[in-house]
Amino acid sequence: MLVQPAERLRGTVRVPGDKSIAHRALIIGSMAKGKHVVEGAPAGADLYSTVSCLRSLGAFIEEMPDGRLLVLSKEFVSGKHIDAGNSGTTARLLSGLLAGLPGETTIDGDESLRGRPMDRIVEPLSQMGADIATAPGGRLPITIRGGRLKAISHQPPVASAQVKSAILIAGLMAEGITVVEERVPTRDHTERLLAAMAVPVEIDGHKIAIRGGSVPRAAQVKIPGDLSSAAFFVVASVCVPGSELYLPTVGINPTRTGAIRVLQEMGASIELINHASFLEEPIADIVVKSSELRGTTIGHELIPSLIDELPIIAVAATQAEGETTVSGAKELRYKESDRIAAIVGNLKRMGADIEARDDGFVIRGPTRLKGNKVSSLGDHRVAMAMTIAGLLATGQTHIERSDIIGVSYPSFFKDLQTVSG
């Protein structure tokens, strides 16, 4: 993909549905009693991986004429070899489901997913009674022999909503009360969805408790727009002079809005209007205008609420006056790529004053970026971040492997062209 600098961005962007919520709505819906309907699920390879895996395990999932997904609970079938593709959410959350199912099932994924750590779910699910084997280094493929589970109390050493969710899903099938205690709160879509589906969930500070034997009740789930996808357009509108964008019906779950708060602290003109909620999830429309930015400090306490947005925040920081420091974000090194190395290397090639740290980076701005050849390294969020960087740069920016964006946002370039044309 070749990206040209943008003069300004104007118009409305309807971002895809939140895939974090959609994954959970499908997986928990496949365990539910009754007819479960998911509206607004995003297109893209990541969510298709979850659909495909659930179908392989025996769930009934069908797209209705109006685009909604119908999910009917059926008896799960083990003894399968399922492919999670590029989706860590699929692999980790389905591990929680498989831990409670009799029989043996193997989860595999693509080369990128095979490089991501799975041992963080192996320990708690093994403590609950599952028999789990991984490839060397705690990687995929992972083979799970499930069975009768017992409740545990677990404090994840790494802040991870996927680990928490895997344990809670397994906890639905465990004997006793399963407790997850987080050191730092992570996105809470699983807890909210379980509560909306009539599962008793007790929350006491950073402790989340769920009683085994609870059966979710099917629901009509409407997926809000994905804030992580919206963040790319928010930063583009803030950084391209004369821009103004309207993004309707975006999820603003407080465990996900760290990027919005940080950008506002940096001076961005971002307004949330028309507040609403659906099945425990808060929603709003976002109005964003071009603004002058200043540097900021982002520490470990904020990281879980903006971990996926850090690549695009780095792009915004190149346009901010002063220094921006990110620390406590070592988890970025274990995403679809080493995102610290990817974003630092790419932005350096475009002339940014940026240096890597073990758990983050430091950026000094503002800098007028220069178009260059950069690579997504097979990471959809890096590809989208560098596309926005290309809008701010002089000359052309050539993004290698830009097609990876299709795993989460297939219409990204089309939507961008609509508001910049």
Strand partners, 3: 397
- Report the phi/psi class of residue 262: left, alpha or beta, with left for phi > 0 and alpha for psi in -120 to 50: alpha
Residue 345 makes CB contacts below 8 A (sequence gap 6+) with none
Is 308 among the residues known to form the active site? yes
Q: Kindly report the backbone phi and psi dihedral angles of residue 325, in degrees, each rounded to the nearest multiple of 5, phi listed first.
A: -120, 130
What is the distance, to the nearest Å, from the Cα of residue 52 to the centroid of all Cα atoms in its chain? 19
- Determine the Cα–Cα distance for residues 406 and 412; give it in Å rounded to an integer: 8
E strand or H helix that includes residue 124: helix 119-127
**Catalytic entry in 18, 83, 110, 308:** 308
- Contact between 238 and 232 (Cβ < 8 Å): no
- Determine the Cα–Cα distance for residues 267 and 351; give it in Å rounded to an integer: 23
Tell me the two tokens of residue 408. Answer: 């989460």
Residue 331 DSSP symbol: G
Residue 43 DSSP symbol: P
* Cβ neighbourhood burial of 238 (10 Å; 0-12, 13-18, 19+): buried
Tell me the two tokens of residue 348. Answer: 């350096």
Helix/strand/coil percentages in the chain, nearest 5: 35, 30, 35
Q: Kindly report the backbone phi and psi dihedral angles of residue 378, in degrees, each rounded to the nearest multiple of 5, phi listed first.
A: 75, 25
- Determine the Cα–Cα distance for residues 396 and 380; give it in Å rounded to an integer: 20
- Determine the Cα–Cα distance for residues 270 and 419; give it in Å rounded to an integer: 17
* Cβ neighbourhood burial of 177 (10 Å; 0-12, 13-18, 19+): middle
Residue 267 carries which side chain, given as an amino acid letter?
G
The beta-strand segments (E) located in 233-372 are: 244-251, 269-278, 281-289, 297-298, 322-326, 353-357, 360-365
Cα-Cα-Cα-Cα torsion 91, 93, 97, 99, nearest 10 degrees, comes to 70
Q: Return the active site residues.
A: 308
